[in-house]
Chains A and B, each alone.
Chain A
Amino acid sequence: MGRIKGDAWVALILLAACAVFINDLQMTEDSGAFVKTTTLPMALAIALGILSSILLAWTIWLQIRRAADHETLPQSSERYAHLRVFLLVASIAIYITALPWFGFLISTAALIAGAAVLYGNRRLLQIVGAMVLIPVALLIFFEQYMIVLLPSARLFE
């Protein structure tokens, strides 16, 4: 039958999530007339579980039917593509965490440089220009015109 395909993974993850949510809902205090606080979420979680089971069964059935079509391992270029996605997600997560510590200007400049390289931009002048212009323009726009404070560098205070 080969490896489990993407849709089946989605169905399995959704089924696991449904189990967690149903458990959480069962422990929630209920109130309301006829349709209670947890009735609709519970019904939707069950519906999600049923739909995920159908998707899982359907994907496995399709896989068995098409067993003759041998699955090929991802090419190295595709593996690098997945790595780029992972690196971008990690960069954004680090950026969000760094914002309150290093402040908006420094964190943003660093993210722009990293992201530009991940997108294949190798023009140093363009990257440096973007590292300076984008954070400064956004800071001025939000703090001067929209009157919203962006995170300042707690680490240097």
Chain B
Amino acid sequence: MTAYLLKRAAAGLLTLVVASAVVFSVLEILPGDAARLMLGFNATEDAVQALRVQMGLDQGFLVRYFHWTGGLLSLDFGRSYTYSVPVIDLVAERAAVSLPLALISLALSTAIALPVGVFAAARRGRPADTLAMAASQFGVAVPNFWFALLLVYVFAVWLRLVPAGGFPGWSAGAWPALKALILPAIALALPQAAILARVTRSALLDVLGEDFIRTARAKGLPQRAVLWRHALRNAMLPVLTILGLQFAFLLAGTVIIENVFYLPGLGRLVFQAINQRDLIVVESVVMLLVATVIVVNLLVDVSYALVDPRLRTRT
């Protein structure tokens, strides 16, 4: 088990190193000189050159790469060209929007998907199952940003229950801030819930055919106990895998959803930074997201062992 986790951790670390090299090199070939873009096209060549030196752009590729990765490790992400603040502050401020958004969506999607999946599996082939699966088939096909637009129309424009967009900040109090995140979270969660419900159902159906389920039923356990305690626990492996993948997807999905709702999150930050050629911000945010994805996948690997005791003894 420990050996298995160490191996996974080493693979994750390797992925991070390669990812950092890829991100750095790809942005190297980005057309447009950052210094020139910042100063505008009327600036003198001398001024541009001076800024290049100040930003360290005159140094070699490898020097800048190691400077950057060294900085990442010590949580010094450098300074944003456009915002003139340390990138770490910028990222922390924006993550305070994106992270809760992704977590709320994940919780919401799980809270919808597990009961629907279990419900459908328990009534396999019956109208309730068919209906649930038809609904989920529809849910998978809905683009989250379109669903977001419809939600805005119904709940913000029509019913005026929640704001149509923008974010008051956590300083305005938890409730107004949460209120601004409700619609985006639902928009992100629903298509994910549809996928998760389908996976839960089919994983459960695999398990329900096994002998130990027949035993559990034979000894007179109620259906509810069989489903939730015996079957679901054994069906958790594929469900957890999808959950891990979904967290990554939710983080990335915030890029578009934050644009729909004008939320000042990481997604919007990276989108604006790309347009403004604020490379250091793009690099840092992308690396942060990749690192998060890797850590979450590692956590999924750990949770396998918690769910399935057989994996604990395996190396």
Q: Do A and B bind each other?
A: no
Residues of B at the A interface (CB closer than 8 Å) are: none
